[in-house]
Structure 1
Amino acid sequence: MPTPTSFPAPRGAQEADILRSPARELGDFIRAHRERLTPDAAGLPAGNRRRTPGLRREEVAQLCGVSPTWYTWIEQGRPVSASPDALARIAVALRLTRAERAYLFELAALRDPAEPAPGTSDAPAALLASIALLDAPAYVLDRQWTALAWNGHASDLFVGWLAPDDDHNLLRYMFTSEAARRLVVGWETRARRLVAEFRADSSRHLTDQPTRALIENLLKASDAFALFWRSQDVGEREGGLREFDHPVRGHLRFDQITLTPALREDLKLVALIPRTVPEG
């Protein structure tokens, strides 16, 4: 049996400072992605020996059409004024994905000029009721990824998460429950991806108290979560194969589908469709 991966404990002051002001978070995010981007990927000559990883600040500033001083200040988390147009140019220069670009604008508390205006809607009661109609594990998550409703198939599958007395938050379950580590096949890969997806998903309400409280609690409770959160990875929520080692039913395989109701992008309906293995 493979031994669990050991994660380094968060370092005192670094752990306490990991949720900083939006300006500092914005600067850290931009710097991390600048350091990952190679000159070749950005369409720049590699040049002579480089002392820093990735692109230089001056190179990104040139690509964005902004002054090097202004760009340096925004990376340093100084309270500088940033227009949506300037941020859009940074997103293009750094080759950010759609999820990463959305996170960039949310950190800056600005609306992406490429995004349509959001709509509003009352709480969709029909959404919560719809999962009972599905003959497969299904549940609804709120903006903190706490299950609001689920069907019997889901409670049977997720041991330790969806029983009446369980903590119904998916992230706390994944990172603080030994049952989750035993249940989820490839736990480390899935857990890392989950944090990247939550970072992208929570960007619209990262300063909301419930969201901040959840993140701060997990930073203290889980070394793995703290490590993955510090990585600044951002990813869109993806479907695909999900595998479980169920204590009663054995090895199970599903295709995950995540649906977002119209006008309520803070909620998700997740369904796990059993994947049948073709007979050889």
Structure 2
Amino acid sequence: MKESNSKITIITVSYNAVTSIEPTILSVINQTYPNIEYIVIDGGSNDGTVDIIKKYQNKISYWVSEPDKGIYDAMNKGIRMATGDWINFMNAGDTFFCDTSLNLLFIPEPDSGIDIIYGDTEFIYAFGRYVRQPAELEKLKYGMIFCHQSSFVKADLLKKRNYNTKYKICADYDFFYSCLKERKTFQYIPHTISVFDARNGLSSVNRIAREREFGIISGRSHTPQWKLEYYKFIISHQIKGIIKQSLPENLLSKIRKWNFKRITKAVNQAHEYHY
């Protein structure tokens, strides 16, 4: 197995993340891969986040704490500072799956024709965790099929096309969908790359905004079929919101637990079928 020459830039974006940034930093600096550049872009935190960053600054290649115009503006700052061959975003609260995650991806060296590498993600919920595999690449035209934290992009590609900051939730999807349309080369690696904490989740407002941005980016938002699906999505969320407000918390907890078990069972069956 030959040694990789690729320099990997890991970028962490944070804002008032005092309770979540330290595990993220540790998961990066504890990687056994030998050639890592680590960049932290903080949005001017005032809750102690900067103190944690300073605690590990001798392990960080570059960091800054200053106001920004949102998460994608901060990510673009990180891209401009990056000097690696590949870029990954491991934002505050998320972690690599294990200390050898980068080794599994970059030793041996990826083929030179690959533009984007992506893999599996472990999701953490209130009642447990499970590993989710990406959907087929062709389904990227309908929405994100892999977790951003579980992807690595050629640095030259990201530097040529920064994230479009007019999108507040789905600028990463806009980037990956554009790459798909331009026939950039994606490679799926069957390894769990990152751990995503989904316990807080998106608010109903953000879920609706996300679906709308998906539709705009994919060019489907003007079609009658998409409009029908979109309004059904909104109504469904409104009904769910009313039900959540009406049911006692202990019953909601039981429903969430049942739903988690149902999802986990389906995922496990899919994995058994896949292998």
* Same fold by TM-score greater than 0.5: no
When the two structures are superposed, what TM-score results if normalisation uses the length of structure 1? 0.27
When the two structures are superposed, what TM-score results if normalisation uses the length of structure 2? 0.27
RCO higher in structure (CA 8 A, sep ≥6): 2
